Amino acid sequence: MAGRYVSAPTGGALLVAGTTSDAGKSVLTAGLCRWLARRGIRVAPFKAQNMSNNSVVTPDGGEIGRAQAMQAAAAGLSPAVRFNPVLLKPGSDHRSQIVLHGKVVGEVDAASYRSGRAELAEAVQTGLAELRAEFDVVICEGAGSPAEINLRAGDLANMGLAVAGRLPVIVVSDIDRGGVFAHLYGTLALLDAADQSLIAGFVINKFRGDRGLLEPGLRTLTDLTGRPVYGVLPWSDGLWLDAEDSLSTAADGVLGRPAPPVGESWLRVAVPRLPRMSNPTDLDALACEPGVAVRFVEEPSRLADADLVVLPGSKSTVADLDWLRRTGLAEAVRRHAAAGRPVFGVCGGFQMLARSIDDRVESRRGTVPGLGLLDVAVTFEATKILRTPTGRALGEPVAGYEIHHGRVTRRAAGLAPLVERVRPVGGAGGVGAAAGAATVCGGFDGDHGEGAVSWPVAGTHWHGIFENDAFRRVFLRRVADQAGRPGFRVAADTAFGAAREQQLDLLADLVDAHLDTDALLRLIEHGAPAGLPLLAPGAGA
């Protein structure tokens, strides 16, 4: 779009907003970061405030949303706290743990969040200014929808951020959900004049079919709003890793796009879809393996033909354990293990396998019985463990990350750890040292975080353990043997890190092929055009 522009105050920036959650903000932000990085532009991602239980530990020991770690990788950067200064982790429908600059600072409900908003706003605006001073371009991701007008007064991540930083905004919408033109027009029209002045245009996501059939609608949308559609991104079956929202999982519960088996048999993995499930992306690496079908389940009959049950992480271990019991899944998991078929728990799922859980931190329920499939005791403490350990498991080198309040305070004599952890000689940190300066240990800082194994049941606090290719292959072979699947063969060449890089490159290819990148570069450099039309009712606000 030609015309006079409102210049940005410092380095170039853009805010990617969305008409709904899971509209495509995270993947478009990542695609833009990778596309710019491939052009030699120093680019960084930024999400002012994320509400998600899917998080990672940064190299400096902080905690951020996993989507921002993925976007950092797209930009060729290590994950860092500054890319996501505020993280809210919902523990119930009314309260969330608040993580500021990577560290837990307490819990908030709606009222206490409003009272602490000024401090959060300062952290967000300072963080963005510092990134803009350091990088050529900062691609910001919004949260939810910018048209949540009931929350506009305290908004930190959408138009509040855009107005404070004079950020041009593009709005992306998922056409696969239907109503895309109403979503885009209505989102713009509900905003007040100052907010509308920064909305520069639109992107349509997940289009299938004949582009020619869409063209009349695109022209009408531009005529009605005075804003261009910067492009239409096609549906791609190849994009599913690191999905931020559980809605991204297919309707039948199958994760990803399972490839045909190498051998004669499939391996079927069932994952209870816990109400407060955290880090479901731990399962992505399993789903990348040919012949492995990973399915999220919500009732016990779906465990009947499973070869492996994985209990995933949880932000509310005790409450989600109650849900397992109410749905009958807890008893189904016990029967599965009693039949000699494997069960594996990750973080909160590992804690559920314990004989007892003493939780005076998250649920404040005190001591409750676990599933009793591993003879360990778990005690929750106020201080959250955040670390990136290394070690060996099933004879193979492994790395992962830990995010948990629960500690394994008792492990039965003779119950083996899943992981032999490596730590620096003389140190107490969780990050593995360089070769030649480390020691292998079974315990760690008084917490048996490396887990426990008593086949067919095992578990660990380590997220990301399945991303270790050699370990994953040995683990799947053992699962197949334990489950009686002699016809299953593990592929010898599946490399999860390479698969993630391929997806990031695919995102950049889609941006390059289907968006007006010249127009987006002008927008990033100069800001939103001046004099954009105002739509009612926002025009009268």
- DSSP string for 392-414: EETTEEEE-BEEEEEEEEEE-TT
pTM: 0.90
151 found inside a domain: yes
111 found inside a domain: yes
Residues 394, 458, single domain; the answer is yes
Residues 384, 523, single domain; the answer is no
- Give the pLDDT confidence score for residue 60 in this predicted structure: 85
Pair of tokens at residue 336? 């599965």
Pair of tokens at residue 304? 């009947």
* Cα separation, 479 vs 308, whole angstroms: 7
Residues 475, 525, single domain; the answer is no
Residue 484 region by backbone torsions, left for phi larger than 0, else alpha for psi between -120 and 50, else beta: left
The CA–CA distances, whole Å, from 171 to 1, 20, 72, 363, 455 equal: 16, 10, 21, 38, 50
Q: Which element (helix H / strand E) includes 503?
A: helix 496-514
Residues 523, 474, single domain; the answer is no
Our CA dihedral for 317, 318, 322, 324, rounded to 10 degrees, sits at 30
Active-site residue, from 347, 405, 448, 461: 347
CATH of the domain at 284: 3.40.50.880
**Domain count of the chain?**
2
Query: Which of these, 229, 329, 297, 291, lies nearest to 485 by C-alpha position?
Result: 291
Residues 521, 493, single domain; the answer is no
Query: Is 463 annotated as catalytic?
Result: yes
216 found inside a domain: yes
Residues 491, 521, single domain; the answer is no
Q: Which residues of 202-220 are buried (b: 16+ CB within 10 A; e: fewer)?
A: bbbbbbeeeeeebeeebee
* Cα separation, 54 vs 39, whole angstroms: 30
502 found inside a domain: no
* Cα separation, 321 vs 368, whole angstroms: 10
Residues 478, 522, single domain; the answer is no
Residues 401, 313, single domain; the answer is yes
**Are 142 and 23 in contact, with CB atoms under 8 Å apart?**
no
Residues 201, 328, single domain; the answer is no
CATH of the domain at 17: 3.40.50.300
| Helix (H/G/I), strand (E/B), else coil: 532 | coil
* Cα separation, 198 vs 19, whole angstroms: 15
- Give the pLDDT confidence score for residue 124 in this predicted structure: 94
Residues 187, 258, single domain; the answer is no
538 found inside a domain: no
What is the domain extent for residue 129?
12-228+516-532
- The amino acid at residue 361 is V
Q: What is the gyration radius of the CA atoms in the chain, in angstroms?
A: 24
Say how many C-beta atoms besides its own lie within 10 A of residue 484's C-beta: 13
91 found inside a domain: yes
User: Which regions of the chain are under pLDDT 70?
Assistant: 1-11, 110-115, 242-251, 423-449, 539-541
- Whether the bond between 529 and the residue before it is cis, its omega within 30 degrees of 0, is no
Query: Is 347 annotated as catalytic?
Result: yes
The CA–CA distances, whole Å, from 145 to 29, 170, 205, 529 equal: 15, 12, 15, 22
Residues 196, 304, single domain; the answer is no
Rounded to 5 degrees, φ, ψ at 105 are: -120, 5
* Cα separation, 198 vs 231, whole angstroms: 18
Active-site residue, from 183, 336, 405, 463: 463
* Cα separation, 520 vs 91, whole angstroms: 38
Residues 198, 280, single domain; the answer is no
